[in-house]
Each structure stands twice: as C-alpha cells, then as structure tokens.
C-alpha cells in the first residue's frame, strides 16, 4: 500500500492551473447499464480506443450526480471499483462522477472551471483512452508536513476546497473512505497525483 497524505488530494489540480475538460460529449448521456461483471472483459492496461470520449464535451453545470451506472445499480461498494470493467468505469464516470465533481469545480471557480471535462483530472489519459491514475501529468506533490503546511499557507481556500469537497466527494463516489493519515488508507492525494 502506498503512503498517502490527506487533504492535498487533488489540490495541485487547482494550484497548477490545469483547468480543462472532462468526459463525454454534448449533454450527459442517459444512464447506461453496463454489462454484469461476468459478461464484461477484465480491465486491462491497454488503451481502449473506442472508449475514449471526445475532448469537446459540453459544460457540466450541476453539482448533483445523475443516475449511476455501476453494476450494482449504484456507486461501488468498498473495494469494488477495481473489479469493474473499463466500460463500467467509463459509464459511471460520465453519469455520476463528472456531473458531481465538475459541478463542484464549477461552483468553486466558475470562470476557471467553466467547462470541466475529463482532462481536468485524467490529462493525456483521455486521449489515449487509458484514463491512468494517478496522473503523472498533474503536479507532483510534496506530501511532507512542511510541504503541506506551505501549500496551506499559500492557497488556504484551495486546500480547504480539496479537503472538504473534492477528497470527500470523490472517495464517496468511488465507494472508499477518505484518506486517514493514521491508517494510511482511503482515497487521498496520491490517488490522483504523484509525489515529488
């Protein structure tokens, strides 16, 4: 298990100015029920060219998630995300994660995040269809106590947004607890970013 540091989770996305795009194209598609896990091919590290969405998606204006597309009919249960197929994950990201998280970023800074799209978090992984996370294209984080303290001093509103909204909501959407420094488990900074 790799060590993670809570709070800074996706902080550098905002700090870095990696504003951009998110999954989908046009209006969010109606909920699609993905195939049952036994019918779906196993997730591979090879890019799925036909699964990559267009990078010219319409803006996401709602912070409320639409119907989810998980095989269980809702968000993944604890530990279930890794067993979902690429297509199941893509459908869920489009119908639940992008509307919720895109809305949060838009509400945080409507000018900077006017049209959140997949590349906001997944970067080049959108183009190649891998959606690789953590994304090496995001800023590398200094997750030491001194590095985190410096980030809090420089961008307190961003750090608070990442801690209280991004990390917690993304963890919930993925069926995981938010990162706990005591146990070093849960969704945290290093699920999106790499370390300095």
Q: Determine the distance from the C-alpha atom of residue 189 to the mean position of all C-alpha atoms in its chain, rounded to a whole number.
A: 11
Residue 110, burial from CB neighbour count under 10 angstroms (0-12, 13-18, 19+) = exposed
In this prediction, residue 110 carries a pLDDT of 96
User: What's the CA gap between 142 and 151, in Å, rounded?
Assistant: 9
117: tokens are 């799209």
CA 120 from chain center: how many Å?
A: 9
Q: What is the pLDDT of residues 139-161, one digit of tens each?
A: 788 889 999 999 899 989 988 99
Contact partners, residue 144, CB within 8 Å, separation at least 6: none
pLDDT for the residue numbered 72: 59
Give pLDDT tens digits for 23-68: 333 333 334 444 343 333 333 333 333 334 444 344 444 444 344 4
- What does the alpha-carbon distance between residue 173 and residue 100 come to, in Å, rounded to a whole number? 9
Burial 24-34 (b: 16+ CB within 10 A, else e): beeebeeeeeb
Residue ranges of the domains in the chain? Answer: 1-18+138-196, 19-120
Q: Which residue has the higher pLDDT, 69 or 20?
A: 69
3-state secondary structure of 81: helix
pLDDT digits (tens, 9 = 90+) for 102-136: 999 999 999 999 999 999 999 999 999 999 999 99
């Amino acid at each position: 298990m790799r060590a993670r540091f809570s709070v800074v989770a996706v902080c550098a996305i905002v700090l870095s100015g990696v504003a951009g795009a998110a999954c989908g194209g046009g209006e969010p598609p109606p909920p699609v029920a993905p195939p049952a896990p036994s019918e779906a091919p196993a997730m591979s590290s090879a890019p799925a060219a036909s699964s990559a969405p267009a990078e010219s998606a319409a803006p996401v204006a709602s912070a409320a998630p639409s119907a989810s597309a998980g095989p269980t009919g809702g968000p993944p249960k604890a530990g279930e995300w890794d067993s979902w197929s690429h297509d199941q994950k893509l459908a869920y990201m489009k119908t639940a994660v992008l509307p919720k998280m895109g809305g949060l970023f838009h509400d945080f800074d409507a000018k900077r995040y006017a049209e959140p799209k997949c590349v906001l978090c997944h970067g080049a992984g959108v183009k190649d269809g891998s959606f690789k996370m953590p994304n090496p294209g995001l800023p590398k984080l200094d997750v030491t106590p001194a590095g985190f303290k410096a980030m809090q001093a420089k961008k307190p509103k961003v750090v608070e947004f990442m801690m209280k909204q991004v990390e917690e909501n993304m963890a919930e959407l993925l069926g995981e607890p938010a990162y706990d420094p005591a146990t070093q488990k849960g969704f945290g900074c290093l699920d999106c970013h790499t370390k300095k």
